[in-house]
Amino acid sequence: MTTSPSAPASTPAPTSLPTLLVLDAEPLPRLGRLTGRARVEHADATTLAERLPHADVLLVWDFTSHAVREAWPGGGPRPRWVHTASAGVDHLMCPELAASDTVVTNARGVFDRPIAEYVAALVLAMAKDLPTTLRLQGERIWRHRESTRVAGTRACVVGSGPIGRAVVSTLEALGISTALVGRAARPGVHGPEDLDRLLAGADWVVAAAPLTDDTRGMFDARRFALIRPSARFVNVGRGPLVVEDDLVEALTARRIGGAALDVLNHEPLAEDSALWEVPGLIVSPHMSGDTIGWRDDLGTQFVELFESWAAGGPLANVVDKERGYVPGH
């Protein structure tokens, strides 16, 4: 079942306060504005299943947990609305939730600009070889080198949602010519049929797509073979967009110029993972969208959505549960 992005969710009965269930993570969200307007309850992975039937709304504050996907198929009523404090929804979607009447919303809009800034920082760091500069400084070695000019280079950004579009505008401000690839071709956006051609001509490849059946593993050995040896690859979308073994092989054999992963198949990355020492690879702990105050922004966004829902108004950021993202971009 697909929910229209402009359709309002069912409103709570006026005679009682709606029950808001929060799947907790520290620090907890600030929900003071909802005092006297909602009955707030809390759950973790061990108690979520038993408390789901009693909730009108579920706030997935712990967006790294798979507890919703595991608990949802159980018996009893289910919340009429689920909001996740993240852009991706793959951690909570299951067939039973996708087929239900429950409205799902996400945190679209909070992370766009911070992630775009982070991508720009990675591009500049790799172009100017900052990792080597910092390493040599730590070793007290003075070694003059030449670096790459980013203005005039070309980027292929995969994922045409708000994050991908923010990446495009930020890279273009650096003088980088960009091509944006989405699920379907439309003005300003290339379709999947153009992806291989654009990869072959890009100096920078940025993955910012949602995780769906179509995008899982899309960056594999075949696609890395298309990328020119001097080009760099950046993933700020979802870890499983990339076949990590294929990326490691491409980097080790120097078939691509470098890569940066802010999202990985398994998080947190194990201390003994080989990814820590792959030549030319920058690994960061899923932090590209997390700027100072980001949790407050997420909490404020949810409270504003809740106020609209409680008043019978439409919900923004409604996810197409079959596609796995908010349509219309």
Nearest to 203 by CA among 181, 230, 182, 221: 230
Q: What is the DSSP letter of 13?
A: P
319: Cβ contacts below 8 Å, ≥ 6 apart: 3, 89, 104, 105, 106, 325, 326
Q: Does the annotation mark 216 as catalytic?
A: no
Mean pLDDT value of segment 123-137: 98
CA distance 189 to 110: 22
Indicate the helix (H) or strand (E) that contains 57: strand 57-60
Q: How many CB atoms lie within 10 A of CB 313?
A: 13
Q: Does the annotation mark 267 as catalytic?
A: yes
Of the residues 37, 39, 113, 286, only one is catalytic, namely 286
The separation between CA 310 and the C-alpha centre of its own chain, rounded to angstroms, equals 28
236: left (phi > 0), else alpha (psi -120 to 50), else beta? Answer: alpha
Look-up: residue for tokens 């980097």?
A: 251
Task: Indicate if the pLDDT at residue 11 is higher than 90.
Answer: no
| The token pair that represents 119 in the structure block | 């991508």
Cα 173 to Cα 114, 118, 121, 323: the distances in Å are 15, 14, 13, 31
Q: What is the DSSP letter of 80?
A: S
Output the pLDDT for position 170.
98
Contact 251, 222 (CB under 8 A): no
| The token pair that represents 237 in the structure block | 């979308």
Of the residues 190, 223, 238, 295, only one is catalytic, namely 238
CA atoms in the 13 A half-sphere facing the CB of 206: 32
Given pLDDT bands bounded at 50, 70 and 90, which one contains residue 5?
very low
Output the pLDDT for position 288.
98
Tell me how far apart the 2 most distant CA atoms of the chain are, in Å. Answer: 73
CA distance 243 to 233: 13
Task: Indicate if the pLDDT at residue 9 is higher than 60.
Answer: no
DSSP string for residues in 270-292:
PTT-GGGG-TTEEE--S-TT--T
Output the pLDDT for position 76.
95
User: Across the strands, what pairs with 189?
Assistant: 186
Contact 66, 60 (CB under 8 A): no
pLDDT digits (tens, 9 = 90+) for 246-259: 999 999 999 999 99
| The token pair that represents 285 in the structure block | 């702990």
Task: Indicate if the pLDDT at residue 329 is higher than 60.
Answer: no
Q: Is the dihedral of CA 206, 209, 211, 212 positive or negative?
A: negative
Nearest to 231 by CA among 156, 133, 152, 130: 156
Mean pLDDT value of segment 52-75: 96
Mean pLDDT score across all residues of the chain: 95
Of the residues 267, 304, 307, 322, only one is catalytic, namely 267
Q: Does the annotation mark 238 as catalytic?
A: yes
CA distance 193 to 15: 54
Output the pLDDT for position 328.
73
Given pLDDT bands bounded at 50, 70 and 90, which one contains residue 269?
very high
